[in-house]
Amino acid sequence: MPSPQSKSLQVDFCGLALNSPIVLLSGCVGFGEEYTRVEGYSNADVGAVVLKGTTLEPRLGNPPHRVYETPMGMLNAIGLQNPGVHKVVDDILPGLDFAETRFIANVCGSTIEDYAEVTRLFDDSPIDAIEINISCPNIKEGGVQFGNVPEMSARVVAACRAETRKPIITKLSPNQTDIAANARLCIEAGTDAFAVINTVMGMAIDVEARKPVIGNVQGGLSGPAIKPIALLKTRQVYAVAREHNVPIIGQGGIASAHDALEFLLAGASTVGLGTALFYDPLICSKVNAGIADYLERHGFESVTDIVGALADG
């Protein structure tokens, strides 16, 4: 792995050495190679890249419109458009530079068997870890149903656990009654980490046409608008996860170093950037610099020193 900008930014995540606590989120950077075309960007600035959601068979995705800008956020309903796991493993992964950063697969499915088979195929690949997407709010089957029922979430995790020795990250939905209870069952089923949170369900309406703007009617809301929700859910999951040394990727509306620090203090070990990349493709280096400055000013030697350091109010 390349040398990080600052030793204080190094993070151990499920046994993986990361250069930075920043993780680029699934769906925001394609399959990893697209974002490297941005002038001034380097994968060495981030700890890991989560690849686009991948299913067993190719998917065309949802009908348009698929993306809609909202105040302080964005709705998306891409519908998991992807070329299928065989194409990803055989043709895309060989083109990625695993010496630059870590790459995490994002596994999706309509059935538990689908999740297990996609996981098995990624297990026999150079991918560093596997994120299980059981909380996608913009597909009509699987996804959000699995993510909102703790017992179903645990069944998916257990099925994937049986197919791989790679670290498993379970992506939790905010659209459920008790996220901490879900996290507890997923830990028992064998997850190694969590991604908290996925997008929040939402919609937009074209009042002149009197129709939903999004072709799928509903979509996932991301961006700064959901940050307070994501912070609370991160803290709730951390209350369970810390007992078992299960790390968290905190995500949802992070658009600055200040935002990232909030998630770290709430209990996240790493922080995910997504929507912010669309309006500032070079934000990662700024967030790294801001975190490093905070650590130096407050006398902390590493990011790990501030994880969960939020004083009880």
Active-site residue (options: 28, 108, 136, 160): 136
Task: Count Cβ atoms within 10 A of the Cβ of residue 61 and give its class: 0-12 exposed, 13-18 middle, 19 or more buried.
Answer: middle
How far is the C-alpha of 180 from the C-alpha of 72, rounded, in Å?
Answer: 27
SS3 category, 30: coil
Sign (positive or negative) of CA dihedral 307, 311, 312, 313: negative
d(CA 31, CA 251): 19
Q: Which token pair is 9?
A: 């930014």
Q: Contact, 32 vs 49, CB < 8 A? A: yes
For residue 32, CA distances in Å to 53, 96, 206, 249, 312 come to 12, 7, 34, 18, 39
Transcribe 235-256 into DSSP letters: HHHHHHHGGGT--EEEESS--S
For residue 108, the Cα-to-chain-centroid distance in whole angstroms is 13
Report which residue type is found at 93. Answer: L
Closest CA to 286 of 249, 248, 258, 306: 258
Q: How many CB atoms lie within 10 A of CB 139?
A: 22
Rounded Cα–Cα distance for residues 96 and 100 (Å): 9
Q: Inter-axis angle of helices 150-161 and 112-123, to 10 degrees?
A: 30
Active site residue 136: yes
What phi and psi values does residue 247 have, to the nearest 5 degrees?
Answer: -80, 165
Which tokens is 122 given?
A: 């990624």
Active site residues: 136
